[in-house]
Structure 1
Amino acid sequence: MSVDPKQNKITKLITQLDLTQHISEFESFFSRSHSLYIEGDQELHFRYIKALDALEFNAPPKVADFTEIKLHLKKHGVLNFEQIFELVKVVRYFRYFKNRELEGLIGEWMEKIVTPESFTEIEKYFTHDGKFEENLDETLFGLSQRIKEYKNEMSGALKRMMNSSKLAGYLIDTQVHYINNEECLLVRGGFNHVLKGAVVGRSSGGFFYVAPDAILKTKEKIRYIEQEREAIFYSYAKEFSAKLSELLPFINFIDKEFTKFDNYQARVLFAKSKNMQLVKSQKDSKILLKDFIHPALHNAKPISVDFSKNILMITGVNAGGKTMLLKSILASAFMAKYIIPMKLNDNKSHIGNFKAIEAIIDDPQNVKNDISTFAGRMQQFSRIFEYRSALVGVDEIELGTDSDEAAALFKVILDDLINRGQKVVVTTHHKRLAALMADRDDVELMAAVYDEEARRPTYEFMQGIIGKSYAFETASRYGIANKLVNEAKKVYGDNSEKLSLLIERGSQLERELKQKHKAVDEKLEELQKKERALKEQKDELQKELQRQKAELKREYDLAINEAKKAAREGDTKAIHRAMNKANKKLPREQKEHIKQDVAFNVGDEVKYHSQSGVIVSMKGKDEAIIEANSMKVRVKTKHLKHTKIVKPKPQTNVNLNVTKKAGLKCDLHGMRADEATEVLDKFLNDALINGWDEVLVYHGIGTGKLSYAVKEFLKTHPRVKGFDDAPQHMGGFGAKVVYL
């Protein structure tokens, strides 16, 4: 059996990225074994997957591969019932979907799957669990009944033997034993005096398992019947196989469709069972993860990382999660490439597409092949240069050699990989390498965060900084004596310690900045929620306003039509009533009336009821003494009005002014097209209100532009029934008779 190098490479990558259990659980949802990659248009596949994800449905049954079945049919061989039932299971499952009469993409797909009538004839001979429906064949049904009768005879014979007084002294127990598919009694030695039969075995206690002759004879009869049944079954299998050979194109079709469907349903049901998201790789190389959780981790902190640039360098504390972050980035790209469900915020995440994904994670040292760690790393790197558009992950890039030399070497290597279009994520403790790469615009720095107070990693990451390794702290945490750790700090030196303090201070400032950003983001999100709510409320009010306007416009049009009808009948009062009614239907702005306090002073000219006078004195704000007609009267100021301020009474009048025309003619000679249509529109409106049914419009011949404009206007006017050129004595081609 040949080994597929590509499959071996994928299997190795799955192991390196700690995805073995996740992929194994995913593959258990397949109805039959498939490759992880779905051949064909990934965009189209993802549309079907999302459409299926919106439905609730039962999982398909486990189904065998059709390769051997199709090969038998191609050679006109005879299939057994088990093989035929595999085909039946697929057709029945598609029928289950088709009977649901779904709409959309899945419904359209199911409509394309039409089962031939000859296949339905075969299908009816199988029960839901794959047994042959013997009731449909009279001969088989009769043979089955005979077998039942013989078995009842055997059961009765055994019961009589066990209740026989002659055999009672030899029976060890009163139950039927099955040895090599033979019904037996367990008896002591000497049984042959009272029981005729064949010994088929011995018990551990030295007793005998005996098959009575009477039972054996009956079983022989059953065997003859079974042979007869098998002959009938074979004839059916032969008949069914001949029909299925003719249906080979249909079988190839449903095999292909079921392979696609199985790939889709496995992803959908696996995602639902684990509350995961379905994500497809995009047509670029950007990776943006939001709240991603590696499937191998339990109770893990979700990670968020922006890997938009070409290189991502992860530094920081030992045992702080750098390697798992690297694996998470590569694992997310791998799962998106194969549309394998994962846990993340799919609305805020973006994962690019890569032709190859390479992981340089394990120590390549091999004693057997006499290769060192560094030499093995160089071998691994040499293979990376063969790729284009690859995603490469390198864990502890400095592994196996001098750090200063490695920093220079790997800087040059990474520069070249960037030029080749590779995207590389690296974990390192090389502050020198990180510093050498940090000045590039296409390099992103990221550091694992250490909690100084708790003296342990936080398993969180900060972007844009170089992290400290905390080697001394890690050594103390894992049991190295403080005396040794302190001595190591002295050897390390003051300048190096100052550098570490600067790095640590940078991390602290970055953490504070992150907290501020988080608070701002939360506030911004809250404001955005309020903005969306207000926008939705505004949209609803706008819709309601438009609805009410449309309703009022409809009522207004009805009233106007009533007015025009009254105009044609010559009823002037009815015209006024209808027009006033129409104007009342139009929406008007509601003005808020605000009551204002009116101030009165001595000397003001005022009016008290019907009398006019002058204020001669005030008693506070509420009372005044006025002099009117040589008499002084004390009154409340609320009963007074200033006589010099004249406020017109609010009045709404709707008047219909119809200018009576001397005749039924409209002369448009010498007018521009827009001016002429405006005059013509007013003329027609007046004619309609006066109840005229026919009018004459003069436009002249000239260049033809005015004539054309008049004809086009008359064609679109809603109340013009038709028009013709005027008779020769009334203007001919230079005038139109218009019918209203």
Structure 2
Amino acid sequence: MNHKILEILEFDKVKKLLENLLLTEQGLEEVRQLSPMVDIDRIQQAFDESRDMADLFVHYPHFTLATTQEIGPAMRRLELEADLNILELLAVKRILTISKELADFYANLENVSLRQLDKLFEKIETFPSLQGTLMAVNEGGFLEDFASEALLKIRRKIQEAEVQVRQVMQDLLKAKADMLSDSILASRNGRNVLPVKNTFRNRISGVVHDISASGSTVYIEPRAVVALNEEISHLRAEERHEIARILREISSLLHPHTAIIRNNAWVIGHLDLVRAKHLFARDYEAVVPTLSDQQDIALLNVRHPLLTKPVANDLTFGSDLTTIVMTGPNTGGKTILLKTLGLTHLMAQSGLPILADKGSRVAVFKEIFADIGDEQSIEQSLSTFSSHMTHIVDIMRQADEETLVLFDELGAGTDPQEGASLAMAILDDLRLRGIKTMATTHYPELKAYGIETPHVENASMEFDTDSLRPTYRFMQGVPGRSNAFEIARRLGLADVVIKAAQEWTDSDSDVNRVIERLEKQTLESRKRLDHIRDVEQENLKMNRALRKLFDELTRERENELNKARLEAQEIVDMAMAESEDILKNLHDQATLKPHQIIEAKSQLKKLAPDLVDLSKNKVLKKAKAERAAKVGEEILVTAYGQRGILTNQLKDGRWEAQVGLIKMTLKRDEFGLVKAEKEGQPQKKQIHTVKRANVKGPKARLDLRGKRYEEAMQELDEFIDQALLNNMAQVDIVHGIGTGVIREAVTKYLRSNRNVKEFGYAPQNAGGSGCTIVTLK
């Protein structure tokens, strides 16, 4: 793409808008090098990256990057095996840190399907060892003491020597106070000195470093600290030497990974640029357009990005349309629309979002040429017309079917009749060569050319004759009028003069009347379109209101059904409570085994009708969530319909409960809380049942191999409880041999359980000492 078009359409100003949104110097450099592309695949890749970033922001709206510095010069120094300084190492450290953060972010990415950005994330490589080494480089611009043992020792010696110097100097301040001009220490040439009165300069031995401007004060380094200061200077030199050695060592570690670090920096900068594109689209209400491979342009509500309050316009430039001729008065916005068309395509071909609505299409041009503005050249002694023609000649020589040509005031600056003829000849030549062209002009002859010539269309900018101001609305298919007579009349020009002028232009009156009718039809069509859009919005609002009413009606119906279900359930609860009392009396009157009582309860429960499954009921879920379980509360085990008491809550959230003679471990969703008994009313309880088809059958074997001790004991306890509830006479417990810890724990548990009749190891062919057979009472 030629650089002249970038200057004419002010593409650099658009890039400035992006620069304000960037965080990294790598991204800043990339946007400065950004230019329109002609490869449709590369443009589509840039569009897909922008769509990926938009999807990313939906799920991760706070996605951001840290600021970075340019590391190109540092990488070149490394390639030459030179040592990096601390600031350069800090820049590399920041790149490695951000690389690790981005790699971790991508590893934990969920719910986002990427088209192109995944390739960028996968190119990032991390270096944990190098990051650990660079921890010695402090963000303040110095090396930490732990960078090496030698550096730590040197700095400790320096600190000790400085403490001694300060102590000696403080003692001298006190002892020689009457000889000093000030009671605080001074510093000269990097040394601590005493401000001694000139009259006492011979009373304090030492090195004179300075004398005050008045000559009344002499700055003396006492002899007592000269040796210490010399030692500190020597240690400082050793410190500098050690720092240089450490920097050389770190640089040598970075040298083999120069190419990868450089690539990481580029990926970070590119991600920053894609992020800036998304922020630009969000702030300016821009979109990623669709690419057309047939030069089919459809810009919906397109706007110029550099205007403060741009007017949106629709511009259609179909594949069968070659030329658009735009006429009308000055200051109507013709040039702005011309620039908008060109700049929009420069942005799109650079992979940037365009200021338009969704559904917009853009073409891909190898070159865009424009002749816009005053091209008068004083240096070359060329007039405006000559300068324009020189430029137009160059354009026509270079233009082909894959270019877009923009002409502003084509044929201006010369005799109107000759200029109009020349303009039509130029446009017709471009039309016959199939070159997309958009031109603005004042010549009325071009209006007839636009009407009579195939593949050519007229256009104009709307002008409000009532307010005498342009509306900047684009009217495609309608040639423009100068509106000179209407404007002159409203400005106070005499009617006699206006009528005389109209008599001179009778030959064009028919054309003007046709144009006027076309303008009215266009305005009427636009009003109808606006009305259709308003009706569409009202329909959407009505649809949302009806949907809201339907949802409310559905909720009310569900609430009423829930009330009926709760009432029915309370009746069943009362019946179950009565059966509990009967069974309790039965238990008091006769000595029955626990599993016989449980079996009797299950048989009684079968006599009641199946309860409704309320596990999905929103009202019951809310009630359940509001009431928390507590130790000592009465519960109902949902799987067996048995009552019990909560005795303890385990650390993993489960509960221990005593159900008759059986101790059970339950999850919170495996039991319901029994309602508290009100004064003077029979006790009621709330039951949450599960479908019987979902309850799994009892198991006669438990496998504890590979389990941890606590987990094994918990599963064993639950297994024995389930076996007792299901009236099982014998079960097998597979614990393996291993270290014997689980086997001993199983033996201890079975020995202490009163419901176990006897137990022993299985026969050798059935597992031997790795399996225990248990007989229950």
Q: TM-score range by the shorter chain?
A: 0.5 to 0.7
User: How far apart are 1:485 and its partner, in Å?
Assistant: 11
Equivalent position of 2:473 in the other structure: 460
* 1:95 corresponding residue in structure 2: 100
SS at match of 1:54: helix
Amino acid of the structure 1 residue aligned with 2:253: K
Give the stretch that moved more between structures: 42-51 or 523-532. 523-532
More off after superposition, 314-323 vs 52-61:
52-61
Q: Which has the larger radius of gyration?
A: 1
Q: Is the 8 A contact 2:96 2:131 kept in 1?
A: no
Matching residue of 2:255: 245
Residues 209-252 of structure 1: CA distance to partner in whole angstroms, max 9, x if unpaired?
Answer: 98653699877655433322222222222222323232244335
> Could you state the TM-score of these two structures normalised by the residue count of structure 2?
0.58
Matched with 1:512 is 524
Alignment equivalent of 1:63, drawn from 48, 65, 69: 69
Aligned partner of 1:358 in structure 2 is 369
Distance 1:409 1:180 in 2: 82
Of the structure 1 ranges 501-510 and 367-376, higher mean CA displacement relative to structure 2 is found in 501-510
Q: 1:285 maps to what in 2? A: 295
Contact residue 318 and residue 471 of structure 1 kept, 8 A:
no
1:27 aligns with 2:27: no
Using a 3 Å threshold, how does the CA distance of structure 1 residues 382 and 38 change in structure 2: closer, same or farther? closer
Query: Residue 78 of structure 2 contacts residue 258 of structure 2 at CA under 8 Å; is this kept in 1?
Result: yes
Q: Structure 1: where are the runs of 5+ without partners?
A: 1-5, 539-740
Change (3 A) 1:77 1:391: same
Within 1, Cα distance between the matches of 2:445 and 2:197? 90
- 1:430 shift after superposition: 1.5
Distance (whole Å) between structure 2 residues aligned to residue 518 and residue 72 of structure 1: 63
Query: Residue 445 of structure 1: SS of its match in structure 2?
Result: strand
Question: Using the alignment, how far apart are the partners of 1:50 and 1:351 within structure 2?
Answer: 17
Corresponding residue for residue 334 of structure 2: 322
The answer to whether residue 384 in structure 2 is matched with residue 373 in structure 1 is yes
Change (3 A) 1:84 1:251: same
Matching residue of 2:85 = 80
Does the C-alpha gap of structure 1 residues 42 and 348 become closer, same or farther in structure 2, counting only changes over 3 Å?
Answer: closer
Mapped to 1, the partners of 2:498 and 2:201 lie a distance apart of 93
**Equivalent pairs: percent with the same residue?**
24
Counterpart of 2:47 in structure 1 is 46
CA distance in 1, matches of 2:178, 2:495: 93
Matches within 5 A, 1:682-693: none
Consecutive unaligned residues in structure 2, runs of 5 or more: 57-61, 551-777
Q: How does 1:64-213 map to 2 (within 5 A)?
A: 64-66=70-72, 68-100=73-105, 101-103=108-110, 104-105=113-114, 106=117, 109-116=120-127, 119-127=130-138, 131-148=142-159, 166=178, 197-199=208-210, 213=221
Q: Work out the number of aligned pairs and report it.
A: 519
- 2:432 aligns with 419
Task: Give the deviation of 1:141 after TM superposition.
Answer: 2.4
Specify whether residues 374 and 260 from structure 1 end up closer, same or farther in structure 2 by C-alpha distance, changes over 3 A only. same
Output aligned runs, 1:326-341, within 5 Å: 326-341=338-353
CA distance in 2, matches of 1:485, 1:188: 101
Q: What is the 5 A alignment of 1:428-443?
A: 428-443=441-456
Q: CA separation of 1:336/1:131 partners in 2, compared to 1, >3 Å: closer, same or farther?
A: farther
**Aligned equivalents of 1:476, 1:150: Cα separation in 2:** 96
Query: What's the offset of the Cα at 1:336?
Result: 0.8
Once the two structures are TM-superposed, the CA of residue 197 in structure 1 deviates from its matched residue by 4.5
- CA–CA distance in structure 2, aligned partners of residues 379 and 185 of structure 1: 81
Aligned to 2:273: 263
Q: What TM-score results when the alignment is normalised by the length of structure 1?
A: 0.60
**1:36: which partner in 2?**
34
The correspondence of residues 388-537 of structure 1 with structure 2, limited to 5 A, is 388=400, 389-471=402-484, 482=492, 490=500, 493-495=504-506, 498=509, 500=512, 502-523=514-535
Alpha-carbon distance change, 468 to 13 in structure 1, aligned in 2, over 3 angstroms: same
Q: Distance in 1 between matches of 2:18 and 2:461?
A: 31
Structure-2 change in CA distance of 1:18 and 1:473 (3 Å): farther
Aligned-residue Cα RMSD (Å) equals 4.3
- Return the offset for 1:335: 0.8
The equivalent of 2:639 in structure 1 is none
Q: What residue number does 2:399 align with? A: 387
Of 212, 221, 232, which residue of structure 1 is paired with 2:242?
A: 232
Three-state SS of the structure 2 residue aligned to 1:294 is coil
Answering whether residue 13 of structure 2 is matched by residue 17 of structure 1, we say no
- Please tell me the residue identity of whatever aligns with 1:460: R
C-alpha change, 1:475 and 1:338, in structure 2 (3 Å) is farther
**Greater shift after overlay, 261-270 or 185-194?**
185-194
Q: 1:353 to 1:435 in 2, by over 3 A?
A: same
8 Å CA contact 1:59–1:265 kept in 2: the answer is no
- What SS does the corresponding residue of 2:474 show, helix, strand or coil? strand
The 5-angstrom pairing of residues 597-612 of structure 1 reads: none
The residue number in structure 2 matching 1:608 is none
Assess if the C-alpha contact under 8 Å between 1:19 and 1:296 holds in 2. Answer: no
**Structure 1 stretch displaced more, 15-24 or 400-409:** 15-24
Q: How does 1:481-630 map to 2 (within 5 A)?
A: 482=492, 490=500, 493-495=504-506, 498=509, 500=512, 502-523=514-535
The residue matched to 1:213 in structure 2 has which SS? strand
Q: 1:290 to 1:251 in 2, by over 3 A?
A: same
Task: Please state how far the C-alpha of 1:532 moved relative to its aligned partner.
Answer: 11
Separation (CA, whole Å) in 1 of partners of 2:271 and 2:366: 25
Cα distance in 2 between the residues matched to 1:219 and 1:359: 74
Shift of 1:418: 2.9
1:472 and 1:489 in contact (8 A); partners too = no
- Helix, strand or coil for the counterpart of 2:14? helix
State the AA in 1 paired with 2:46.
Answer: H
CA distance in 1, matches of 2:508, 2:544: 51
Kindly provide the CA deviation profile for residues 345-383 of structure 1, in whole angstroms up to 9, marking residues without a partner as x. 1x1322221111222112111111111211211221122
> Are the aligned partners of 2:99 and 2:125 in contact in 1 as well (CA < 8 Å)?
no
Q: Which moves more between the two structures, 70-79 or 500-509? A: 500-509
